[in-house]
Amino acid sequence: MRITLVHQYYLAPGEPGISRFNEMARVWSAAGHEVTVIAGTVSLSTGRTHPGTERRLLVRTRDGPVTVWRAHVPSSYAKSYLGRRFAYTVFTLTSTLAAFRSGPADVVIATSPPLVVVVAGWLKAKVSLAPWVFEVRDLWPESAVTTGVVSAGSPVTRFLYWMERASCRSASRVVALTPGIADDIVRRGLASPRKVMIIPNAADLRLFSPGPRDNDFRRAYGWGDRIVAIYSGAHGRANDLGQLLAAAELMRDRPDILIAFVGDGQQRRALEADASQRGLSNVMFCGPQPKEKMVDAVNAADIGLAVLQPNPTFRTVYPNKVFDYMACARPTMVAIEGVARELVCDRSRSGLFAEPGNPVSIAAAIRQLADDAELRGKLGRNGREWVEANASREMVAADYLEVLRGMVEAG
């Protein structure tokens, strides 16, 4: 099959971030399929423009066997929320141009957010006379409304809700990453249950596996013998990392416990300034790391942290970092209600729950894990066993491929 993917945040080589589709594309290419990606030129994790794509409308590159069209995204993306909106508008135009320039497709996937990817995906499917998948990784624009990025009644928001409805109607299949997202789509009447498939995030077991705690990463950052609770991922408004700083302040009496932040985002500088103003010596900001180094970062830690803003919309999401923690046999402290809590505490039994937005609860859960090495080991082993049995990237990629093959065969 000739598979075209529209994904603004497809990772460039060595770039930090979520590699769901880099790994999917690798598996699909290895199975003999031709994969073409239409992606943006600015990194989600760092906000920086990929080298070699500056001031160019389209750049055709390769990621191993995968053809990647980098469509221009202006540098305003990383400067403000208004700049990000402008960047999305530009990407809508440049990705559409890439859709016409790239070769024919037998099936098309458009993965959101941002929701604007559906424009290029829909057009690519139309010109190729091919079925297309609308994949929902996060509910847009609902999550932008509930986090305060956009107002519920603005013309832009109303247009995005219309685009969401139209995409669910037009697409041959709607793929949701979690049961919560799937239930929301069906509950609102956007698509019938028969049309919606759940294809979750997963662990890259080729890369993430249990390794030595005393490794180069731990030594490079001088963690010594401290118990380290690591947060890996975006530093944005939705992540609400201030609750971890507040928890750290409650643990001043435990200099043996360190909260390490690995990643980047619009809120990182403000968080660093806040930590400095509070005089917190038990937090460390390590910045973004290439994907290949993240396995050492997680293995160097003792506890994985997964937090989001206490927001009803986030009851539907699985943070990908949880799968990385489980793959490395590290226990998770999850401060997210809904399907993430169910995954960690009930299905995989790989971690402890803390009340979202409650630093007292978060600090208590971190203390409990820090003080009980036997519990950490048990929860970590549970997580590793669960992802091996249920959520390897190869397994999920194969399931996705069967969905795509069925769509093509059905015409």
CA distance 55 to 49: 10
Nearest CA to 330 among 291, 377, 288?
377
Whether residue 116 is predicted with pLDDT greater than 80 in this model: the reply is yes
At 156, is the pLDDT very low, low, confident or very high (cuts 50, 70, 90)?
confident
pLDDT given at position 45: 76
CATH of 216-390, one of 3.30.465.10, 3.40.50.2000, 3.40.50.300, 3.40.50.920: 3.40.50.2000
The overall average pLDDT reported for the chain is 93
pLDDT given at position 337: 95
Domains 2-202+392-410 and 216-390 share a fold: yes
Does residue 25 contact residue 57 with C-beta atoms inside 8 Å? Answer: no
For the chain, the domains span: 2-202+392-410, 216-390
Task: Quote the percentage of the chain above a pLDDT of 70.
Answer: 99
Q: Is 203 helix (H, G, I), strand (E, B) or coil?
A: strand
Nearest CA to 343 among 394, 386, 392?
386
Class level of CATH domain 2-202+392-410: alpha beta
Whether residue 318 is predicted with pLDDT greater than 90 in this model: the reply is no
Does residue 235 contact residue 267 with C-beta atoms inside 8 Å? Answer: yes
Does residue 255 contact residue 281 with C-beta atoms inside 8 Å? Answer: yes
DSSP one-letter string for 297-360? HHHH-SEEEEE--S-GGGGG---HHHHHHHHTT--EEEE--THHHIIIIIIS--EEE--TT-HH
pLDDT in tens, 238-287: 899 999 999 999 999 999 999 999 999 889 999 999 999 999 999 999 99
pLDDT in tens, 81-97: 677 888 889 999 999 99
Instruction: Pick the more confident residue, 411 or 175.
Output: 175
CA distance 124 to 107: 9
Whether residue 58 is predicted with pLDDT greater than 80 in this model: the reply is yes
Whether residue 169 is predicted with pLDDT greater than 90 in this model: the reply is yes
Question: What strands lie across the sheet with 257-262, from one edge to the other?
Answer: 283-287, 257-262, 227-232, 303-307, 332-335, 351-353
7-16, 60-69, 206-215, 274-283: which range is least confident on average? 7-16
Whether residue 147 is predicted with pLDDT greater than 90 in this model: the reply is no
User: Cα 173 from chain centroid?
Assistant: 21
